[in-house]
Amino acid sequence: MSRIGKLPINLPAGVSVTVNKDNSVTVKGPKGELTQQIDVDIKVSVEENTVVLERPSEQKRHKAMHGLYRSLMNNMVFGVAEGYKLQQELVGVGFRATSKGQLLELALGYSHLIHMEIAPEVQVTAVTEKRANPIITLESCDKQLIGQVAAKIRSFRKPEPYKGKGVKFVGEQLRRKAGKSAGK
């Protein structure tokens, strides 16, 4: 058995899971609703407050799918119950971030502003305090979507290793380099 796949998923209060005939799973909770198509070979069963996934055989493909879909479903249950939150910090002189609804406007040292339309499932806020780096906060119930949006924002200006300027996650440790040595 897969060590991850055989673990049951505990459902918190207020979260319900329904499995359709075509093996698509819908998870509803206080933070939202998520749907995932599960492989037809993997059997999903809901008993009281737990969800258990079972595989038909010990084939390598079935083992891989067993652990994968169990992790995806666990992320869905956590997302609709508590939600996910990511914070990114803009390190650099003159770097700014402002959010108006679902539109994020970034000034990252280029000759132009970067405008990014954020998906409606993700709530975005940008906070700029005096004498501190601007912080972008993303909140959503979908772990995959929030990670994709955060990666896109980071790709506009990745942190560089010499001064550490760029878009980084709050608490992220960057590998720094020494730079040039002094000449003789």
Residue 175 domain-assigned? no
Considering the chain, what is the average pLDDT of its residues?
A: 93
Q: What is the pTM of this model?
A: 0.89
Residue 12 contacts by C-beta under 8 Å, 6 or more apart in sequence?
29, 77, 81
Residues 51 and 70 in one domain: yes
Per-residue model confidence (pLDDT) at position 1: 47
3-state DSSP of 140-178: ECCHHHHHHHHHHHHHCCCCCCCCCCEEEECCCCCCCCC
Per-residue model confidence (pLDDT) at position 4: 87
Residues 88 and 137 in one domain: yes
**What is the rounded end-to-end Cα distance, in angstroms, of the chain?**
64
Residue 178 domain-assigned? no
pLDDT in tens, 163-177: 999 999 999 999 999
Sheet holding 50-54, edge to edge: 9-10, 50-54, 43-47
At which of 82, 98, 133 does a domain end?
82
Look up the CATH number of the domain holding residue 29: 3.90.930.12
- Run of H or E residues at 135: strand 135-140
pLDDT in tens, 20-71: 999 999 999 999 999 999 999 999 999 989 999 999 999 999 999 999 999 9
pLDDT band at 182 (very low <50, low <70, confident <90, very high): low
Residue 182 domain-assigned? no
Per-residue model confidence (pLDDT) at position 2: 62
> Domain residues for 38?
4-82
Greatest distance between any 2 Cα atoms in the chain: 76
Residues 78 and 88 in one domain: no
Per-residue model confidence (pLDDT) at position 86: 96
* Residue 77 near residue 17, CB atoms below 8 Å: yes
Residues 88 and 76 in one domain: no
| Rounded distance between C-alpha atoms, residue 91 and residue 88, angstroms | 10
pLDDT band at 98 (very low <50, low <70, confident <90, very high): very high
pLDDT in tens, 63-92: 999 999 999 999 999 999 999 999 999 999
Residues 59 and 126 in one domain: no
Q: How many domains does the chain have?
A: 2
At 35, the amino acid letter reads T
Report, as an integer, the average pLDDT of 122-129.
94
Residues 134 and 147 in one domain: yes
Residues 74 and 12 in one domain: yes
Residues 98 and 134 in one domain: yes
Residue 181 domain-assigned? no
Sheet holding 32-37, edge to edge: 16-19, 24-29, 32-37
Report, as an integer, the average pLDDT of 124-144.
95
Residue 95 domain-assigned? yes
Percent of the chain with pLDDT over 70: 97
pLDDT band at 183 (very low <50, low <70, confident <90, very high): low
* Residue 128 near residue 79, CB atoms below 8 Å: no
| Rounded distance between C-alpha atoms, residue 54 and residue 1, angstroms | 9
